[in-house]
Structure 1
Amino acid sequence: MSERVVPPDARRRRRPTKQGVVLSDELIVATALRLIEEHGTEALSVRRLGRALGADPSSLYRYFRHTDDLMLAVADELIGRTLRVWRPTGDWRADLRELGLRMHAGALAHPRAAVLSSYRVTGRAYEIQAVETILGVLRGAGFPGPEAVRIYHVFVDQALAYGALDSASIALPRAAQEAETAVWQATYAGLPAETHPNIAATARHLVTDMGGSSYPAALDLLLTAAATRLTEIRSRAQDNSRTDQAG
């Protein structure tokens, strides 16, 4: 794609293409997301995307400057799909846990796109909304600005990293997935206590646990650490208040 992108108000078509398609940002992004999941990144060619849309490939330049611009839009749409189904309750810890789990589930629903977009900063509407929302949850809970940003950073990076990690795993061919799972039973469960006492003592737990994602446990550990930090902040604030009153 090129640098000939047209402003939103000017690029809206008044009529369908010759193939009967009315193009829009949303339709192009949804089609690109589908093609990525079916064929991988090579699907993001102007020719293939135009063919899938039933539109002249050159018409896509009116909406996106180049394929990277489109990739950022796809990444932002993944964020939007999570935000559209997440409903905060006012309990900061429960809200962040639910949001994290939904982010992870969204990545697994679109594994190839999730792997590609996990390390990108889009600067687009949904990402901006997500940053504002998560910081609002943290600041509303009582975290000062610097702490809110630090926890936001860890929370988002953890969710994106696990989304990419687990997406890469489920994107493996079925035979490869089964072979990796079998290693825990075939290899680790058979190691003798004489040479590997710790593995032998926990072998059955390794077999049952290692085949799944550790993201829920990691998320809980993060939120527990954040809650502990919040308790420390509140305690220090109370101590400072007493000191000020005594003085």
Structure 2
Amino acid sequence: MPKEVVPETERRRRKPTKGGVVLSERLIVETAMRLLQQHGKEGLSVRRLGVALGADPSSLYRYFRSADDLTLAIADALIGRAMRGWKATGDWRTDLRDLGLRIHSAYLAHPQAAVLTASRVSGRANEIDADESILGVLRSAGLPDPEAVRIYHAFIDQTLAFAALDAAGLALPHSARAADEAVWQATYARLPATTHPNIATTAPLLIARMNDSAYPTALEMLLDNAAATLVRARRADPGA
């Protein structure tokens, strides 16, 4: 049976580690994110984390039940960074756009951590607060609850899917990323119209767009759909 993880106020070390720091959940998570940034997921281990913190690796289990528990804490920390300082303006479209771009940007700032965590559901405080805020924006716009949940589902999955996709590209070695980006100019732009008329015709446009994230465009498409849904809902129930 795994050990019970007690509240941080009850498990904080009274003495600094040999590295001169006092362990805390926040410090462990921030150090883990730094190791991921420097070495990728293969470089993150309890042993390496203990060395970076100047602490016995076994002491980390007073804060996290397992390495997977730490992964969920990292996921929640990314969401917390995205939501830091966010305030609703009262304009649902502006607010939803801002939330999406904030989450996407927070993940791209830590691509290795994003690749590791974008598919996870932590059930932790920051994630719950973000979900509450997104649903609040949609419901306050006047969307019926089934439509609010439908759009919430598409919104959060779309945001995290693009975050994972774009972060995976950023996490590649520089040489591999540069080679991928060059393919549009080196290969697609040279395809003849006789065999690939559609690519040949649109090649300049493809080159201009395809190395940038499509998330802002996809987000606007989702917002357009939400706006159309809201119009239909108001027509169906003018008194709502």
Q: Shorter-chain-normalised TM-score: which range? A: over 0.9
Deviations 1:73-111 (CA, angstroms, capped at 9, x unpaired): 000000000000323211111111111111111111111
Check whether the contact 1:162–1:215 (CA below 8 A) recurs between aligned residues: yes
Normalised to the residue count of structure 2, the TM-score between the two structures is 0.94
For 2:122 and 2:178, locate their aligned partners in 1 and report how far apart those are by CA, in whole Å. 35
In terms of mean alpha carbon deviation, does 161-170 or 177-186 score higher? 177-186
Aligned runs of 1:84-233 on 2, under 5 Å?
A: 84-233=84-233
What is the rounded CA distance, in whole Å, between the counterparts of 2:212 and 2:112 in structure 1? 19
Is contact 1:5-1:61 (8 Å) kept?
A: no
Give distance in 2, aligned partners of 1:117 and 1:107.
9
Cα displacement (A) at 1:56: 1.6
Larger Rg: 1
Deviations 1:29-84 (A, max 9, x none): 11111111111223332211111011121211111111000100000000000000
Q: Is the 8 Å Cα contact of residues 184 and 207 (structure 1) preserved in structure 2?
A: yes
The structure-2 alpha-carbon separation of the partners of 1:5 and 1:128, relative to structure 1 and needing over 3 Å to count, comes to same
Q: 1:178 to 1:46 in 2, by over 3 A?
A: closer
Letter in 2 for 1:219: L
Count of residue pairs brought into register by the alignment: 238
Q: Is the deviation greater in 182-191 or in 97-106?
A: 182-191
Structure 2, unmatched stretches of 5+, are none
Distance 1:96 1:216 in 2: 12
User: Using the alignment, how far apart are the partners of 1:174 and 1:44 within structure 2?
Assistant: 21
Q: Work out whether 1:7 is the aligned partner of 2:6.
A: yes
Residues 218-227 or 18-27, more deviating? 18-27
